[in-house]
């Protein structure tokens, strides 16, 4: 799994489920499958008090 795959999964969890719990679960599940050097952003999403806001900010700042 690549970091791009993991970010896509988290964005889809937000779009499909729309709950903080679903986003946290997806982020933590994906973080376990990434190399340690790429896990930080997913743990920030998973441990955030408002993961939907973090995902929205991430989505706005993705490269085109």
Q: What is the DSSP string of 30-61?
A: HHTTS-GGG-HHHHHHHT-S-HHHHHHHHHHT
Is residue 64 very low, low, confident or very high in pLDDT (cuts 50, 70, 90)? low
CB atoms within 10 A of CB 33: 13
Whole-structure pTM value:
0.88
pLDDT tens digits for 11-57? 999 999 999 999 999 999 999 999 999 999 999 999 999 999 999 99
């Amino acid at each position: 799994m690549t970091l791009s795959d993991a970010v896509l999964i988290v964005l889809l969890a937000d779009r499909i489920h729309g709950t903080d719990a679903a986003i946290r679960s997806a982020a933590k599940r994906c973080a376990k499958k990434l190399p340690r050097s790429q896990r930080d952003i997913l743990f920030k999403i998973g441990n955030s008090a408002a993961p939907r806001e973090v995902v929205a900010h991430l989505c706005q700042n993705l490269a085109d």
